[in-house]
């Protein structure tokens, strides 16, 4: 390889082209001497480092130069090594100083696809002048044709900065047994004190937006939110130690957002641009809001997406649905359930429209779409073509039905989830059944609850073991901090959310009784989950971590373990043993 090869990647996700100044054969015995540098300087690299979007031959590396230390002519170096002490450096490169600046809020992304070995752990760092970044740890995917014994994916969602501390991320950061982290959305919240769901119980977690409101109105607000979230030490350590695969949900842009095709603009039913008369529900303001949200996400999330920098329409800017393959064991399809979805079928109000739509059945309309035609066809085609043992959809909202009422007159509870798009859900389920593609796992978030459910073609059929009707299993992960059902009850009863005094058997007992395909549900805890895929099974382990303690010892508890078996509709609950979990982490 040419020692001064320049990789021109400007069109691929705003990644920086770089000069590859050193690249050795990966199995070489020695590496060149690297000049000693001073200790990590967290002032220059105030938001630390991150990696994302693994391929068999690389990852995306990310960092940001603090503007107070920015010098337009100063190049940024990066190094990748096989060891955390950088005694065995495998590659080194330089990003020219004129490629870093306010146009991307001083963020830098470097795409190493094609440069590294497969199924391997690496360490990386950036050097800016005499400042050395914290050391990051990343992992590449197994190569095509390789069959790993197992793949472990941590699953995260819904991390409202104002509603608690990222203790769950602190626990996840310390784990060596997780291969990759999947974030299914709500990485940030566009609001900073919405009284409907943000009670601001922690004074040190308040956010003041540049626009001086409580909802993001422009690019400056979204950037400020991303910087604030990424300033959290626990989130930084988690992103330093793990390679992320992320998509957005609604709160990266606006609550319960959709695409208003009739006006060709963002639909944001609760946003000031929609409801405040001063803005007049202006479609141009809303379309600009969508562009601003996407620009900030692109800058701060280490994702490999193809960008059209000249685009003025959000759908032309870039798409985030994409596929990841982990040898022959797992194919992961990350979905975008917001950018192309139809308006809510029963109106944009709260109760009786978006939620519990009594007297309306438009959610069965065949023109309702969650994914849009192009993404839906891509998903079906790619999933049916996959020969992996497990096919996994990284999805935002609950896909399984969640409803109440008589069998002949069910009322869905939440039309912002797939229950509002039932015809498309049915189409996908039939396609999976008719295509004889078993071993489908759907990962979801959004609802701030742990839920495990059988996925079906027809939810009126109570039998969960019928292979002609049951096409997969859904594992929903609860929120890291965002307010859930128990938080809402405590708020209504004026309980201190930092010290909740009640719990209710509202999860498994109630939701399971009304929805027999739901095997487990819990609305009262926060944490994360880990999916373990082997040739024989896919096992979901839910962890509960207290979000209300910023410092000191915080216990991580195994809350539930359920296992789905390959080529079977069987779903087995396993003992949630902490000691067994610790043993498993040791391999």
Where in the chain is CATH 3.60.21.70? 151-585
Where in the chain is CATH 2.60.40.380? 6-139
419 and 401 Cβ atoms separated by less than 8 Å: yes
10-residue mean pLDDT series, the chain (587 residues): 36 67 54 52 95 98 97 95 95 95 97 97 96 97 97 98 97 97 98 90 96 97 98 98 98 98 98 98 98 98 96 98 98 98 97 94 97 98 97 98 87 96 98 90 96 96 94 98 73 55 57 89 93 98 94 89 95 82 63
547 and 163 Cβ atoms separated by less than 8 Å: yes
| Closest-CA residue to 190 (of 490, 482, 443) | 482
Residue 252 is given by DSSP the state T
CATH topology of domain 6-139: Immunoglobulin-like (2.60.40)
499 and 548 Cβ atoms separated by less than 8 Å: yes
Q: What is the pLDDT of residue 33?
A: 46
* CA 316 to each of CA 290, 298, 307, 389: distance values in angstroms, whole numbers, following the listed order: 12, 14, 8, 34
491: Cα separation from own chain's centroid = 27
Residue 312 is given by DSSP the state -
Answer positive or negative: Cα dihedral of 569, 575, 581, 587. Answer: negative
Q: Give the whole-angstrom CA distance, residue 23 versus residue 2.
A: 9
The secondary structure element, H or E, covering residue 545 is: strand 537-545
* CA 584 to each of CA 219, 560, 580: distance values in angstroms, whole numbers, following the listed order: 44, 15, 6
Which spans in 49-159 are helix H? Answer: none
Q: Give the whole-angstrom CA distance, residue 548 versus residue 26.
A: 45
Q: List, for residues 146-188, the tens digit of each pLDDT value.
A: 999 999 999 999 999 999 999 999 999 999 999 999 999 999 9
In this structure, whether the domain defined by 151-585 belongs to CATH 3.40.50.720 is answered with no
Dihedral, CA of residue 410, residue 356, residue 273 and residue 488, to nearest 10: -130
How many Cβ atoms are within 10 Å of 254's Cβ, its own excluded?
26
Q: Where does 238-321 show beta strands of DSSP type E? A: 243-246, 258-260, 265-267
pTM over 0.85: yes
Q: Give the whole-angstrom CA distance, residue 367 versus residue 361.
A: 13
Q: What is the pLDDT of residue 138?
A: 98
Region for residue 75 given its phi and psi (left: phi exceeds 0; alpha: psi -120 to 50; beta: otherwise): beta
Q: What is the pLDDT of residue 64?
A: 98
The secondary structure element, H or E, covering residue 381 is: helix 373-385
Structure tokens given for 508: 């498994």
> For the chain, what's the residue count?
587
Q: Give the whole-angstrom CA distance, residue 487 versus residue 489.
A: 5
* CA 496 to each of CA 202, 203, 364: distance values in angstroms, whole numbers, following the listed order: 11, 14, 41
User: For residue 110, what are the β-bridge partners?
Assistant: 61
Q: What is the pLDDT of residue 88?
A: 94
Number of helices (H) and strands (E), helices first, in the chain?
A: 11, 28
- Classify burial at 115, counting beta carbons within 10 Å of its beta carbon; exposed 0-12, middle 13-18, buried 19 or more: buried
Which spans in 143-266 are helix H? Answer: 167-173, 219-230, 233-241
> Hey, is 145 helix, strand or coil?
coil
> Hey, is 85 helix, strand or coil?
coil
Q: Give the whole-angstrom CA distance, residue 224 versus residue 37.
A: 31
């Amino acid at each position: 390889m040419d020692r001064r090869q320049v990789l021109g990647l400007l069109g691929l996700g705003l990644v920086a082209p770089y000069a590859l100044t050193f690249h050795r054969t990966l199995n070489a015995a020695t590496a060149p001497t690297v000049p000693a540098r001073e200790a990590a300087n967290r002032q220059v690299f105030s938001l630390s480092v991150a990696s994302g979007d693994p391929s068999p031959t690389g990852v995306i590396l990310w960092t940001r130069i603090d503007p107070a230390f920015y010098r337009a002519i100063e190049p940024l170096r990066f190094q990748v090594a096989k060891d955390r002490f950088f005694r065995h450096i495998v590659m080194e490169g330089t990003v020219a100083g004129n490629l870093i600046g306010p146009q991307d809020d001083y963020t830098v992304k470097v795409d190493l696809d094609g440069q590294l070995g497969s199924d391997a752990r690496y360490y990386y760092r950036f050097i800016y002048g005499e400042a050395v970044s914290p050391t990051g740890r990343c992992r590449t995917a197994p190569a095509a044709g390789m069959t790993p014994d197992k793949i472990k994916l941590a699953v995260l969602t819904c991390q409202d900065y104002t509603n608690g501390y990222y203790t769950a991320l602190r626990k996840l950061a310390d784990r060596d047994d997780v291969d990759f982290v999947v974030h299914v959305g709500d990485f940030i919240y566009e609001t900073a004190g919405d009284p409907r769901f943000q009670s601001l119980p922690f004074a040190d977690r308040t956010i003041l937006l540049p626009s001086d409101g409580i909802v993001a109105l422009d690019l400056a607000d979204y950037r400020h939110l991303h910087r604030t979230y990424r300033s959290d030490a626990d989130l930084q350590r988690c992103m330093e130690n793990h390679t992320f695969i992320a998509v957005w949900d609604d709160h990266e842009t606006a609550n319960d957002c959709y695409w208003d095709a009739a006006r060709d603009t963002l639909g944001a039913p609760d946003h000031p641009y929609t409801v405040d008369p001063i803005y007049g529900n202006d479609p141009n303001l809303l379309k600009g809001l969508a562009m601003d949200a996407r620009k900030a996400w692109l800058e701060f999330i280490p994702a490999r997406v193809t960008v059209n920098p000249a685009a003025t329409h959000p759908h032309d800017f870039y798409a985030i649905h994409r596929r990841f393959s982990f040898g022959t064991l797992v194919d992961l399809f990350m979905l975008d359930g917001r950018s192309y979805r139809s308006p809510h079928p029963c109106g944009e109000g709260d109760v009786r429209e978006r939620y519990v739509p009594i007297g309306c059945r438009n959610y069965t309309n065949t023109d309702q779409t969650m994914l849009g035609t192009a993404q839906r066809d891509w998903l079906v085609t790619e999933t049916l073509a996959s020969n992996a043992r497990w096919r996994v959809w990284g999805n935002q909202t609950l896909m399984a039905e969640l409803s109440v009422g008589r069998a002949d007159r069910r009322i869905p509870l939440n039309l912002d989830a797939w229950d509002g798009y039932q015809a498309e859900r049915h189409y996908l389920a039939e396609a999976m059944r008719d295509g004889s593609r078993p071993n489908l796992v759907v990962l979801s978030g959004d609802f701030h609850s742990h839920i495990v459910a059988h996925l079906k073609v027809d939810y009126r059929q109570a039998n969960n073991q019928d292979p002609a009707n049951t096409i997969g299993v859904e594992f929903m992960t609860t929120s890291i901090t965002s307010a859930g059902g128990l938080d809402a009850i405590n708020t209504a009863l004026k309980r201190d959310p930092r010290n909740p005094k009640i719990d209710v058997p509202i999860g498994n007992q109630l939701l399971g009784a009304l929805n027999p395909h739901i095997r487990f549900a819990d609305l009262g805890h926060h944490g994360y989950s880990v999916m373990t895929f082997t040739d024989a099974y896919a096992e979901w382990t839910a962890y509960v971590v207290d979000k209300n303690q910023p410092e000191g010892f915080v216990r991580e508890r195994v809350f539930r373990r359920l296992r789905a078996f390959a080529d079977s509709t069987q779903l087995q609950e396993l003992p949630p043993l902490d000691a067994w979990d610790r043993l498993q982490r040791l391999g």
